[in-house]
Amino acid sequence: MAKRPDTKETVLLALELLRRIPRNRKISAPELHEQLAGAGVARDLRTIQRQLEMLSEHFEIERDERNKPYGYRWKERAKGLALPMLSEHESLLLTLAEQQLRNLLPSSLMKSMESFFVQARTNLGPASNAKREREWLSKIRVVSETQPLLPPKIRPGVLQEVSNALYNNLYLNVDYKNAAGKTTTAEVMPLGLAQQGPRLYLVCRFQGYDNERSLALHRIISAKASTLPFDRPKDFDLQKYDDDGRFGFGEGKRIRLTFRITKNAGLQLLESPLSADQQVKELADHFEISATVVDTAQLQGWLRGFGAQVSNVRRQECASGAEHVK
């Protein structure tokens, strides 16, 4: 005899479904099933379909039966349901999180949170009383230190498969085209995701290798998470990978960098030092800067950007002590 569902569990499932049904678009039972699974609510698809049938009979929910799977949404003038009700401050926090972290959160989590993001945006909408919170969104901005660029286009489904494999520690099968146009098919171990300006990079290890590489997501032609899990390497640390200058096209080699810079251009380095051990010597028209940094192509490009304002550049390798003057 089939086990009768627990009343409390049935009510909780109904509430979860009610707050995930949108107003401005239709959502299907399979989509809700995926959202709930991402939020840790494990229910079979048929149970969710039965609940939606019941809810559409007792609430102001429109069910579109023209095509399968059926689509559900709140009717135009329905009050809907928002449990728990987000405060204005919570709505502001969620809206900012959606704007700034969309590409850095697992796709399953973003889908499971969609109803909360919609509720947050509604709570801060023109018809709400959250005037101060709504104004705050127009009072802040993250600005670029370099020439702003539009983000490169990532092929449909790639970010979802990459984040799924990264989140669940699953091997990832990719077809990748590098900057030279060469295409490679490989199985990789996804270890980290980083956003550098408008670009996203996957840090991974290719099958059979123990070193890391960074793949630009917009150059991934296709990606598919496998069902094969792996143990995350204990010797890998994404922060150390960044500290070693790998995203700046370096190999982790530390140097003692010394150079002279005109006072107008060098003022920023007094306010934002190159390193914690930076030393500054004031000369007549210049500052002489000395700091321990990671030698990267990004560093070389940064120095070249000052043109004639920078001179007497010297690099001393921290390990060997070898020094040369440019």
Q: How far apart are the first and last CA of the chain?
A: 84
Considering the domain architecture, whether residues 165 and 200 belong to the same structural domain is answered as yes
Evaluate if residue 273 carries a pLDDT over 60.
yes
pLDDT band at residue 219 using 50, 70 and 90 as cut-offs: very high
Evaluate if residue 277 carries a pLDDT over 60.
yes
DSSP for 171-223 reads EEEEEEE-TTS-EEEEEEEEEEEEEETTEEEEEEEETT--S-EEEEGGGEEEE
Residue range(s) defining the domain that contains residue 277: 246-325
- The whole-angstrom separation of Cα 143 and Cα 203 is 25
So what's the pLDDT on residue 7?
60
Considering the domain architecture, whether residues 228 and 250 belong to the same structural domain is answered as no
Contact between residue 73 and residue 22 where contact means Cβ atoms under 8 Å apart: yes
- Residue 147 inside a domain? The answer is no
Q: How many domains does the chain have?
A: 4
Residue type, 180: A
- Residue 270 inside a domain? The answer is yes
pLDDT band at residue 251 using 50, 70 and 90 as cut-offs: confident
Q: What is the CATH number of the domain that holds 168?
A: 2.30.30
228 closest CA partner among 183, 192, 190 = 190
149 Rama class: left (phi>0) / alpha (psi -120 to 50) / beta: beta
291 closest CA partner among 275, 306, 303, 304 = 275
Q: What is the CATH number of the domain that holds 270?
A: 3.30.70
In 3-state terms, what secondary structure has residue 264? helix
Q: Is the whole model's pTM more than 0.85, yes or no? A: no
> Which value, to the nearest 10 degrees, does the dihedral of the CA atoms of residues 155, 98, 162, 149 take?
50
Q: Strand order of the sheet with strand 27-28?
A: 27-28, 71-74, 61-64
Strand partners, 139: none
Number of other CB atoms surrounding residue 121 within 10 Å: 14
pLDDT tens digits along 82-130: 445 677 888 888 888 888 888 888 877 777 677 778 778 888 888 778 8
Q: What is the CATH number of the domain that holds 17?
A: 1.10.10.10
Considering the domain architecture, whether residues 121 and 93 belong to the same structural domain is answered as yes
- Residue 177 inside a domain? The answer is yes
pLDDT tens digits along 1-32: 444 445 657 777 887 888 788 877 889 999 99
Positive or negative, the CA dihedral 111, 115, 121, 124 is negative
Evaluate if residue 141 carries a pLDDT over 70.
yes
- Residue with the bigger pLDDT between 228 and 116: it is 228
Considering the domain architecture, whether residues 171 and 231 belong to the same structural domain is answered as yes
- Residue 210 inside a domain? The answer is yes
Residue type, 54: M
- The whole-angstrom separation of Cα 205 and Cα 62 is 48
Listed residues 41, 74, 107: the one ending a domain: 74
Positive or negative, the CA dihedral 293, 296, 300, 306 is negative
- Residue 194 inside a domain? The answer is yes
- Residue 35 inside a domain? The answer is yes
Residue type, 179: A
Evaluate if residue 325 carries a pLDDT over 70.
no
Considering the domain architecture, whether residues 95 and 28 belong to the same structural domain is answered as no
- The whole-angstrom separation of Cα 119 and Cα 125 is 10
Listed residues 213, 236, 259: the one ending a domain: 236
- Residue 83 inside a domain? The answer is no
- Residue 82 inside a domain? The answer is no
Considering the domain architecture, whether residues 261 and 315 belong to the same structural domain is answered as yes
So what's the pLDDT on residue 104?
84
Select the highest-mean-pLDDT range: 71-80, 146-155, 228-237.
228-237
**Would you mind telling me the total number of residues written for the chain in this entry?**
326
